[in-house]
Structure 1
Amino acid sequence: MLRTPSGGVGHGTAAMDNGLMSIGTVLTLLRDEFPEVTISKIRFLESEGLIEPQRTPSGYRKFSPGDVERLGHVLRMQRDHYLPLKVIREHLDAVERGEALSLPSVGRQRDGEALCESEGPTVARIGRAELLAAVEIGEQELEEWESYGLITPLPEGVYDAEAVTVAGLVVELGRFGIEPRHLRAVKAAADREAGLVDQVVAPLRRHRNPQTRAHAEAQTKELAGLAVKLHAALVQSALGVRLP
């Protein structure tokens, strides 16, 4: 939970005015949980309609505790779920209207854990601009990732939900010096695993019986989960570590 500072009145742009805070104060509060957040990031989220701080007659932004709380929710959903900003905005707006909604299930999942339909709606397609904004990358970076096959647009030029997850993980790995070109082997291994699963379920998918085809989809998810678990176990064994 984000906490607003208490005590006397401060000085300069960081001072609180009748419960309202400057952007510098907000940045200090957020960095306890989000050390990489910047003033530019806060301004960007404002430009995308995620927050609407008040303005002084001189044009300075003034944030309420509610604005700070909403910013925390936005950053948390980006960090933990890789949700596009449009989805985050719609979700928070619905919550503020008093609608009881489950968090859209786009983004990070535990290894081998399949999402159930009962967990809430999924966002099946996102646009290119939304993908760029969700993981804060530029057009040139995305083009490079596409050239390595890490991310592939659908025929209509949009992306499936997993593209957000993949892009976010590529960004995180980049912080350790692992460049996109290094991940081509990972992509090739994933393609081989997918091909193995497809060999098993392909006959079922071609079956005339709708129930058999539905069983093929369920079996695909189960096999994919097992493949992910096996991959994780092999990596842990090779490195001699145990992940939580």
Structure 2
Amino acid sequence: MTEEGFQGGPGELRLEGVSFAHEGRQGAVLNDVQVCVPGGLKVAISGASGVGKSTLIDLLQRFYDPDAGRILLDGTDLRELDLAALRRRIAVVSQDIVLFRGSLAQNLAYGVPEASRAELERVVRLARLDSLVDSLPLGLDGLLGERGQQLSGGQKQRIAIARAVLQAPAILVLDEATSAVDEATEREVIAAIDQLFAGRTRILISHRASTLADADLHLQLHAGQLQVLPDEVIKHGH
């Protein structure tokens, strides 16, 4: 399938009988999971630490394949899709941000080297990186030190979010991506993402209840099952 054809879908995810266990570890991360995430929704995934939320995201990007069952993106098994195109269409922002020695512009365009100056400036505004750009003597062309050591955790995460937005993915995954910023900044960033990605699938994983509060669909990963939480459970906490 071409990347162009891949871009056309609404970003629906379907897990059909998906099971997965890490080699050498007891217990399945996923056990015969059946769930459908309609395209275009804002989806919250909760669950205790170590339950396998990040492993689930690794399965979506095919760092692993299910031991049984299949995962479909817009009706097509992930294993039938071009791997590079898949990872461009499902962008993941996590806590672990990889930065390299080079300019801010080069770091932002890491996954989309053909990005225009105007596109870089747009994602800088979206990710609230204006103050960082203003603080660098050469702005967007200002150099970041090795691994961005002079940057705060929040600045690094905003760079990662800007990178993901630049990819224009069908599905954007925020895996504890705003954990290093205060809640007010987090609300600003997520509101901007909601505006830009309206109509596309957004998956949020967080330990902050406020981050997950206004999702369209709430899923909980527990004991190998990924289950839809009813509204009354969400309202009373879980």
TM-score, normalised by the number of residues in structure 2: 0.28
Larger Rg: 1
| Greater length-normalized contact order (CA 8 Å, ≥ 6 residues apart) | 2
TM-score, normalised by the number of residues in structure 1: 0.27
Higher relative helix content:
1
